[in-house]
Amino acid sequence: MTRVFSGVKPTGHLTLGNYLGAMRQWAAEDQHRSDALFCVVDLHALTVDHDPARVRRLSRQAASLLLAAGLDPELCTVFVQSHVDEHARLSYVLECVATDGEMRRMIQYKEKAARERERGGSVRLSLLTYPVLMAADILAYGTDEVPVGHDQTQHVELARDLAVRFNQRYGHTFVVPKATNPAVAARVMNLQEPASKMGKSDDVGPGIVYVLDEPDVVRKKVMRAVTDSGREVVYDRAARPGLANLLEILAACTGGEPAELAEAYDAYGALKKDVAEAVVEVLRPLRKRHQELCADPGYVEGVLRDGAEKARAMARPTVDAAYRAIGLLPPVADTVVNAAR
């Protein structure tokens, strides 16, 4: 069966973009058609300036939101990255296969590092090596497919390169993964800046709808979305990005095609109202389920404990094989030592 792996980074509250572009598809499709793992990648949250208590809180929240979004621990594996040592173990080995030039070429690193330096801050070494840890996340599980947004494609390609290189040098060890981009509504854009994606890492913003926003907050944000100058409602991504984003969100929530949906409207106001209601409805069951899970923290903890155990058992043999292939001396098992005595 196809092995699927994806991760959510607990650096901010999850957004409508995370839900429509990723989590919804994981729940509706991926967990049914494949052997899937979904991971709260908390080690990745330490690559930038962070507050320990906040990372802890967001990690717990991300895990319950994955479950609230419909991931079923009977069908897939939901766990927290730092609960499974194999990620860090494999990351080091892959650092010995990657080059520093390769790391410095990563677009996301270049952008984030530049921003950090502009603010006079320093860049953590782990920000540079982040893509190697991500490659370890993926390769440890023999992953075939990695459903991610377009901004992560370069990182998945690096994982491919490292897998191929390792296999050539040290013998076949890793499955070579590929990125798959979600089909519909892969890119929900910021309601205030339709040129940039509705990412959770953007601090706060009236242009970002969080999955846990109260219905009235959702309505306010949608009603205040920037639209473009011009009056008729048409779907034109290049010329009318703000409007196109609203139509795409509506299409993602209700089904249908953005261009066809546009025909039903002759004013922005009516469209925005419908978009707002559609978003509120899509998020309603998720919010409700999240509340129930918050009232039952023992359940979520149990899921994460079982998930980590399952994940460990899956990753262990591959990571051990990589250790042996690259030349590390296998530890002698206790039973053998005892037998020799």
Q: Which residues are catalytic?
A: 112, 197, 200
17 touches ligand TRP by CB under 6 A:
no
76 or 250: CB nearest ligand TRP: 76
In sequence order, what are the residues at sequence separation of 6 or more whose Cβ sits closer than 8 angstroms to the Cβ of residue 292? none
In sequence order, what are the residues at sequence separation of 6 or more whose Cβ sits closer than 8 angstroms to the Cβ of residue 85? 312
- Binding to ligand TRP (CB under 6 A) within 27-66 occurs at 41, 44
219 touches ligand TRP by CB under 6 A:
no
The residue type found at 202 is D
Residue labelled with tokens 């100058």: 229
Contact present, 230 and 216 (Cβ < 8 Å) = no
91 or 227: CB nearest ligand TRP: 91
Q: CB under 6 A: which stretch of 89-97, 130-138, 244-252, 320-328 binds ligand TRP?
A: 130-138
Residues 2-19 as b or e (16 or more Cβ within 10 Å = b): ebbbbbbbbbbbbbbbbb
Query: Going residue by residue from 77 to 116, which x/- string records binding to ligand TRP, judged by CB under 6 A?
Result: ----------------------------------------
45 or 279: CB nearest ligand TRP: 45
6 touches ligand TRP by CB under 6 A:
yes
Among 3, 4, 5, 272, the residue binding ligand TRP under the rule CB under 6 A is 5
Q: CB under 6 A: which stretch of 134-142, 211-219, 255-263, 308-316 binds ligand TRP?
A: 134-142
131 or 258: CB nearest ligand TRP: 131
In terms of DSSP H, where are the helices of the chain? 16-18, 24-25, 31-33, 52-68, 86-95, 100-104, 107-118, 125-139, 153-170, 215-223, 241-254, 258-262, 268-294, 297-325, 334-340
Q: Pairing mode, if any, of strands 77-80 and 3-8?
A: unpaired
- Contact positions vs ligand TRP (CB under 6 A): 5-7, 9, 41, 44, 134, 137-138, 146, 148, 152, 155
